[in-house]
A and B are shown apart, each in its own frame.
Chain A
Amino acid sequence: MLTVHAYDVIVIGSGPAGLAAAVSAKKNGVNSVLVIDRDVEPGGILLQCVHSGFGLETFGEDLPGPSYAQRYILEAESQKINLLMDTMVLDITSDFVVTVSNETIGVQRLQAKAIVLAMGCRERSRAQIRIPGTRPAGVYTAGTAQRWVNVEGLMPGKNFVILGSGDIGMIMARRLSLEGARVNRVVEIMPYLNGLSRNYVQCLQDYDIPLFLNHTINKILGKKRVEAVEVVRVDQNRKVQPETAEIIPCDTLLLSVGLIPENELTRKIGVSMDPITGGAIVDNCFETSIPGIFVAGNVVHVYDLVDYVSQDGTTAGKYAASFIQCNWNSNRRKIPVIVEEPLRYVVPQKICPDTLRESAIRLLMRVSYPMEYPVQVSLFTDQKEILNKTYPYVRPGEMVSIQIPKSAYDLIMASQEVRLKVLRKE
């Protein structure tokens, strides 16, 4: 346990965020970069996302998930990035000591000069949404089913009901239909779709799978195996209306009810967290409240496009390189980014006005509820509105973004905060 290996940058997680951060750190002059992952091969969850739709922003091509991952894996290999796979990270300290464990090395300590956390997120499960009823086999998260079908070649059932209209749920509805299963329906408690509209068309409509908005699962029935679920309508306060109950026979219930950034390690280090995103509070360099601890990707907040994950991972890797090259001022001025309802959150939560000299700053936001009419997203300094962007509509499932250009440097430098608002466009 006493052996200590030293690296310049250690990245935790080999998904798109971690790989992009590692490649970027290396390209920015870092000598040794190590990526650690608990899986047996790099690529992260993209490897089980066999559907296409990835990379339109980054590569201008429509790639399947594994191909998008493959490009970064090849790049990491050509950049001579060290990979430590099949390894759990047990602990990380604020002075960059990483304790790892695997079958061959036992427990070992690694020393870094900067860390990038890129652990991604995990799915909410039955326990977190408290569905009443029995506890039979046949209740899985959509991602688990995806892994079984796409990687291991196993079918989790024959007759499905899917709870939640997130993208993974809809994509699995299509995937299972293609594999010959019946998908009875997708049930969504909210009055609107949770994933992308295109997935409603190409995953549900194309396969005649009905979507029930304002509905939820009130009970799971079955002794050893799921035999049926009770589907009920909810009112506008999401309160179950028992008189609307309908028993739907099925053998498998898939849950696509949200993702939670996986931040056990982050919390252990003592990084300040944002209770709304479930991730660390970051500035636009993706540095956390602890100097030298950077974060990237879904561990910060749940993205809807991997392209943005890679871009932000690249940013995190670049500034991790700056940090260890000592051209870094940890006391640099940061100003808060504040969002007003109906914006639910923004990432980054702080910006370093200084960095606008080098590059533009992108702010990513989500709204609390859909606005199905033209809206204007406006950015204010403490003096005035300095830029705005029009959207034909905004929805919780689709991220809103606005870019602060380099030309706004003087205005942002003079301000104590920036504020974001969304207003109906007349």
Chain B
Amino acid sequence: MTNSQNLICVTCPRGCSLTISYDDQDQITITGNQCKRGAAYAKAELSDPRRMIASTVRIRGGIHKMLPISTNAPFPKGKIMNLMAFLKSVEISAPVKMGDILIENVLNTGIAMVASRNMEKID
């Protein structure tokens, strides 16, 4: 008996419609992907779903109140709200450069939070 399941790949804006079929031995076949990342996404989505998380943290001394930040790798889906709660307690001081690691190994995931832009210190 063959089972199948549909997913939309979120890796890039193309958004391929993927079909994942299982055969008798539980071997999976992925179709519909237009690149290799689609297959990797489908496999990860079934075992350990992750997402890139972009958010903001408070910054002191910058042109704006908030600094945009992002995870440097896809983050476990189940811990996203814990991450958001943690980020509320974070405050950074300007200046910051794009790519600066602001928090290492956030929530023991091995993933870092990095600055998405430069922000100079202003008086």
Give A contacts to B, CB under 8 Å.
Answer: 40-41, 43, 47, 50-53, 56, 62-67, 69-70, 149-153, 178-180, 196-198, 200-202, 206, 304-305, 392, 398
Q: Provide the residues of chain B in CB contact with A201, threshold 8 Å.
A: 7-8, 10, 15
CB distance from B44 to the nearest CB of A (A): 13
Given the complex of chains A and B, what is the CA–CA distance between A292 and B4 in angstroms? 57
A40 touches B66 (CB 8 A): no
Determine if B64 and A151 form an interchain contact, defined as CB atoms under 8 angstroms apart: yes
Q: Does B63 contact A (CB under 8 A)?
A: yes
Task: Assess the A180–B84 pair: CB atoms within 8 A.
Answer: yes
Cα distance, A200 to B56, chains bound together (Å): 22
In the complex, what residues of A have CB within 8 A of residue B99's CB?
67
Q: Besides the contacts A40-B63, A62-B11, A178-B55, what 19 more A-B pairs have beta carbons closer than 8 Å?
A: A50-B55, A50-B69, A64-B116, A66-B68, A66-B117, A67-B99, A151-B64, A151-B65, A151-B66, A152-B64, A152-B65, A178-B81, A196-B13, A197-B15, A197-B17, A198-B11, A198-B12, A201-B8, A202-B10
Alpha-carbon distance A304/B11, docked complex (angstroms): 16
- In the complex, what distance in Å separates the CA atom of A144 from the CA atom of B10? 26
A-B CB contact pairs (8 Å), 7 listed: A50-B69, A63-B116, A64-B68, A149-B56, A178-B81, A304-B13, A398-B15
Contact residue among B8, B52, B58 (Cβ-Cβ distance under 8 Å from A52) = B52
Instruction: Please determine whether B8 and A62 come into contact, CB atoms closer than 8 angstroms.
Output: no
Chain B contacts to A: CB under 8 angstroms = 7-13, 15, 17, 51-56, 58, 63-66, 68-70, 77, 80-81, 84, 98-99, 116-118
Determine whether the beta carbon of B13 is less than 8 Å from that of A198.
yes
Residues of A within 8 A of B10 (CB): 198, 201-202
Q: Is the CB of A150 within 8 A of B56?
A: yes
Nearest chain A CB to B74 CB, angstrom units? 10
**Could you tell me the distance in whole angstroms from the C-beta of B18 to the nearest C-beta in chain A?**
11
Residues of B contacting A196 with CB < 8 Å? 13, 15
Question: What's the nearest-Cβ distance from chain B to residue A149, in Å?
Answer: 8
Which of B10, B11, B13 has the largest count of A CB atoms less than 10 A from its CB? Answer: B13
